[in-house]
């Protein structure tokens, strides 16, 4: 597992997510800081502190420092993920909403486009005991269904309930609706075979797709949002999950 960290509160929150996923197991965590502002000593110290924090939580962790030109942080994170053959990349999200990390130009978005392994995007403010009992799995329709099922089942709590959602773009034909319903059903069946309670729904986007997913997540009271997408240059399934603190996000939604 690769945990890319900076000086933000979101990176501290990501530590808690990593600890919850890796504690007591055989997972090795590389805590990476990429310096692009000419202060590598601070980054090295930060990565070391986070690695020590993980070690104290029974996680096998070590720190690593890399340097990059301004604007090259995402490329360096992706390079590290490839070199370490990472099974998961964990990032902190500083966006106001969980989906902010998917906006063009964000480090999370750039990393997602460059790596072929799942990406976990953790929002600042997440509680140490954050639940993963209500999971919204939002599909685009072109994912690798098998990978999406396995990763979602691994991340969800044992007593979790998963809502599988595929949001259709305005103007999609009936044939696309039939295909979408079939894809959702395949994911639901796969999750149930993994022992995860799940149900599916195909919705129509009245707004932007990201906004529609955010609305559904708030309405469902999701503790975890999993988004599937496929990188166009290489036909490789990828995933991004945004962990959030339920109460604070619902409050932001009301505002």
Domains of the chain: 2-123 (3.40.50.620), 134-254 (3.40.50.620)
Q: What integer is the mean pLDDT of 163-174?
A: 76
Any idea which of 105-109, 147-151, 192-196, 226-230 has the lowest mean pLDDT?
226-230
The whole-angstrom separation of Cα 147 and Cα 138 is 14
pLDDT for residue 238 is more than 60: no
Any idea which of 11-15, 26-30, 86-90, 226-230 has the lowest mean pLDDT?
226-230
Total-model pTM:
0.60
Residue with tokens 């930060």: 46
> Any residues with CB less than 8 A from the CB of 100 and at least 6 apart, and which?
93, 94, 106
With cut-offs at 50, 70 and 90, classify the pLDDT of residue 5: confident
Give the pLDDT confidence score for residue 249 in this predicted structure. Answer: 41
């Amino acid at each position: 597992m690769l945990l890319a960290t900076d000086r933000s509160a979101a990176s501290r929150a990501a530590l808690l997510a990593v600890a919850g996923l890796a504690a007591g197991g055989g997972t090795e965590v590389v805590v990476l800081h990429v310096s692009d502002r000419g202060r590598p000593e601070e980054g090295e110290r930060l990565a070391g502190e986070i690695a020590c924090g993980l070690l104290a939580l029974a996680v096998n962790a070590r720190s690593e420092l890399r340097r990059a030109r301004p604007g090259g942080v995402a490329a360096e994170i992706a390079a590290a993920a490839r070199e370490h053959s990472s099974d998961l990349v964990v990032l902190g999200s500083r966006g106001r909403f969980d989906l902010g990390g998917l906006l063009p130009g964000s480090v999370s978005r750039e990393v997602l486009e460059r790596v072929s392994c799942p990406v976990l995007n953790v929002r600042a403010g997440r509680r140490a005991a954050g639940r993963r009992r209500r999971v919204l799995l939002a599909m685009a329709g072109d994912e690798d269904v098998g990978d999406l099922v396995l990763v979602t089942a691994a991340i969800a709590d044992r007593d979790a309930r998963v809502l599988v959602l595929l949001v259709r773009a305005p103007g999609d034909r009936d044939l696309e609706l039939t295909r979408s319903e079939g894809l959702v059903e395949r994911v639901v069946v796969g999750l149930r075979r993994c022992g995860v309670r799940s149900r599916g729904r195909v919705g129509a986007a009245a707004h932007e797709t990201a906004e529609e997913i955010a609305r559904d997540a708030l309405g469902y009271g999701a503790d975890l949002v999993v988004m599937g997408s496929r990188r166009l240059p290489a036909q490789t399934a990828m995933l991004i999950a945004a962990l959030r603190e339920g109460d604070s996000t619902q409050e932001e939604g009301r505002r």
